[in-house]
Amino acid sequence: MPAIFSSGDLERFKEFMNVEGKKVLAYHKDLDGVTASAILLKYFPNFETLSRKGPKTDDAFIKTMVKKDPLLIVFLDLPMDQEKDAIKKLEARLPSCRFIIIDHHIIENDMNSKNILHINPRFKLKEAYIPASYIMYRLFFSLNKSGLSLGNRTFDDIKKYIWIALLGVIGDHAYDNCKDLMLESEEYSESNLREIANMLSSATTKFKDYKGITTVLSKLLDAKDLKDIESDKTLKEWSNDVDKEFKKVIEMFETKKEDQGKVIIYELKTEYGLSAMVSGYLSERYPDRVILIYKGANGMWKISLRYQKGDINLGETVKSCLSEGDSGGGHEKAAGGLIKDIEDFKKRFLEQINQQQ
């Protein structure tokens, strides 16, 4: 097990979580974010939850949080250090509130302060790719190992939730980096976990709004074990619908793709949120090529990028290509964002890739 946080992190996590009063949990709208949330909520169910597509924090979100007036806000799988100014505004408007940021994206700012706990494995292992679901599981595992409890809550049963962490790890394409979890789990097979992770990932993309992700969270919280999820008829039905659309999208890719040397570009035209699924699938088919998927979204363009080889840092490259009004970033091998002018972005991105070869 890699050392991804310190004893000080554990003590501060315990201190922050012991806060009495209203609590809000904001989590990323993907399988890693929702599984990390499920593990937290198994022990602390009294959070108001909201799913977010990314870290971008506007005045409307700040006003919403101020109106709720929580004493604790937890951000899971969201790189809120990219929104440093917005977090500082929240701190100023909510002086009694504390913040926990648990994330694994490339670090831009160390947000740790008196009222902010920022946990990211990259503080200790710069190039680590360790999903939020793994971090959350290991937090409770380590609290239990250290004999630490939170009020009347103990975590000696944390291993019964290892399947939730494994689903998140697989969904975030990080299985090879977190094999220690599988070694600690005797009753689950990798192939079965992959099937169920794919089903859940499909279910989260079924709807334009947040119905899919919130339903997955509810199902995870109600489930006693992996079999409850595996046999769920609603999730299976949604997954089948998405899989049919996915196959159509991949068939269209063969005739609609833009082949730009090192980069393959494809405009996605579908009602479902398949960007990450498509870019992930295509990056496995073309491991030596950079995959750029883009899709129209409320007057902007949502982009999803993957590159398996890893000799180009996608997160940093995307950030270097952003214009005013754009947002984006991510990891070395995966990135995303929202873009105003897609043609301008494509031009700058291709120039950056060509310079790095």
pLDDT tens digits, 285-306 = 999 999 999 999 888 999 999 9
With cut-offs at 50, 70 and 90, classify the pLDDT of residue 317: very high
What's the pLDDT score for residue 152?
A: 80
With cut-offs at 50, 70 and 90, classify the pLDDT of residue 248: very high
CATH of domain 7-235: 3.90.1640.30
What's the pLDDT score for residue 118?
A: 98
Tokens of 120: 């990211």
Contact (CB, 8 A) for 330 and 307? no
What is the location of CATH 3.10.310.40 in the chain? 257-356
Q: What's the pTM value of the predicted model, to 2 decimals? A: 0.88
pLDDT of residue 1 exceeding 70: no
**Mean of all residue pLDDT scores within the chain:** 92
Report the pLDDT averaged over residues 337-350: 94
Q: Cα separation of 347 and 321, whole Å? A: 9
What does residue 339 show for φ and ψ, rounded to 5 degrees? -125, 140
Return the biggest CA–CA distance within the chain.
Answer: 60
Exposure on the CB side of residue 149, measured as CA atoms within 13 A: 6
Report the pLDDT averaged over residues 237-256: 93
83-125: pLDDT as tens digits: 999 999 999 999 999 999 999 998 999 999 999 999 999 999 8
Q: Cα separation of 109 and 356, whole Å? A: 25
pLDDT of residue 52 exceeding 70: yes
The two beta strands, 72-76 and 98-102, are parallel
The two beta strands, 263-267 and 290-297, are parallel
Domain 257-356 has CATH 3.40.1410.10: no
Calculate what percentage of the chain has a pLDDT beyond 70. 99
What is the location of CATH 3.90.1640.30 in the chain? 7-235
Report the pLDDT averaged over residues 157-176: 93
Q: What is the full DSSP assignment across 240-289?
A: HHHHHHHHHHHHHHHHH-EEETTEEEEE---SS--HHHHHHHHHHHSTTS
- Map tokens 């689903």 to a residue: 167
